[in-house]
Amino acid sequence: MGNLHIEGAASCNKQFSPRSQDRRRWIWKCLLGSNKQIAVKRLKTMTAKAEMEFAVEVEVLGRVRHKNLLGLRGFYAGGDERLIVYDFMPNQSLLTHLHGHLSSNCLLDWPKRINIAIGAAEGLAYLHHEANPHIIHRDIKASNVLLDLEFQAKVADFGFAKLIPEGVSHLTTRVKGTLGYLAPEYAMWGKVSESCDVYSFGILLLEIVSAKKPIEKLPGGVKRDIVQWVTPYFQKGAFNHIADSKLKGKFDLDQLKSVVMIALRCTDGSPEKRPSMAEVVDWLKGAAGKRRREVTPSLSLGNGDDEVDDDDYGEITPYQSKLKMASTDSDRHKRR
Ligand SMILES: Nc1ncnc2c1ncn2[C@@H]1O[C@H](COP(=O)(O)OP(=O)(O)OP(=O)(O)O)[C@@H](O)[C@H]1O
Ligand SMILES: [Mg+2]
């Protein structure tokens, strides 16, 4: 890939700034002469860390091409200037819709949410299973899932990604990523493998269906993570309490149950018990494909207000038989 040459850039507006405190970069929205929009990430200050993230992102994005990964258009590295050019995503990020300034508009109806979950899962499955060498993203979160004009998910921000050499099951590294999404074995011991992304994806799934933040501050300053929040509702079968109230009850109950169960499998405290992203894609597609289905969690569902009679369930598909809940509260590592 050659260096970037933006010809005929009609205008560039500083449009988005990162949420993180360090503010080491800007994302600019640029309009090309042809009326095409692009997004340009510009490093604000050149530090060794920022330069490393720039190099990793260019290296990784230059290797991959998938409908659910943000497309790289080019880059520029000269003097103290570092720029990366991407496809522009007009519908911004999942974060904007779940917690940000577009959340009150509720543009994400239930089918869109399921579709975004499947798309993001497919992008990750591609990184884990098809890219060569395999790639671990390490920063899966709502602000790094961007949405195109049709609300298709595009996984973005590869500055923390790790290329995994053939035959290596895990690496030990310095912990990067975002609190609330970090797998316990990674947060505590820096042990990184594909299953760390699976854990983060499980948190993201819960966030997509509930619009809850991964970590919530309770009165008195105590922090509660989204898995701790969802588990009692899940056990009681109180699924209406789990669904984002902005959906106003317009969601498919059986799909919601399946998605929560998949999320809880993904966030199992033991990395070896988590599914692969290929399985997650399969399960999500299975959940989206059928309205009525049976899943067999080992976490018992109580007599909650949302319980469905056995008679309501349809036939058991192969994916459903794999969907058994392994995790319980006691299984889980104590979270932060
Ligand atoms: N290609 C793009 N098209 C449109 N908007 C984008 C694009 N890339 C990024 N953005 C917007 O810019 C915002 C800032 O992105 P950036 O990755 O710098 O920070 P962040 O993801 O919000 O936080 P963090 O620093 O934790 O990564 C994103 O949340 C998104 O709304
Ligand atoms: Mg980001």
Average pLDDT, the chain: 82
202-241 tens-digit pLDDT: 999 999 999 999 999 999 889 999 999 999 999 999 999 9
- Is-contact 125 277, C-beta < 8 A? yes
Q: Which residues are catalytic?
A: 139
Q: What SS3 class is residue 42?
A: strand
Of ligand 1's atoms, which has the minimum distance to the CA of residue 156?
8
Q: In whole angstroms, what is the distance from residue 125 CA to residue 270 CA?
A: 20
Pick the more confident residue, 32 or 289: 289
135 pLDDT above the threshold of 90? yes
Of ligand 1's atoms, which has the minimum distance to the CA of residue 26?
18
99 pLDDT above the threshold of 70? yes
Give the pLDDT score at 57.
93
Q: Which domains does the chain have, with CATH numbers?
A: 6-87 (3.30.200.20), 94-333 (1.10.510.10)
User: Is the bond preceding 133 in cis, omega lying within 30 degrees of 0?
Assistant: yes
CA dihedral 177, 179, 183, 185 (to 10 degrees): 90
Pocket of ligand 1 (CB under 6 A): 16, 18-20, 25, 27, 39, 70, 86, 88-89, 92-93, 95-96, 143-144, 146, 156-157, 178
Pick the more confident residue, 37 or 193: 193
Expressed in angstroms and rounded, the spacing between residue 292 Cα and the centre of ligand 2 is: 36
152-189 tens-digit pLDDT: 999 999 999 999 887 777 788 888 888 899 999 999 99
269-322 tens-digit pLDDT: 999 999 999 999 999 999 998 654 444 444 444 444 333 222 222 222 333 334
Ligand (nearest to CA of 61):
1
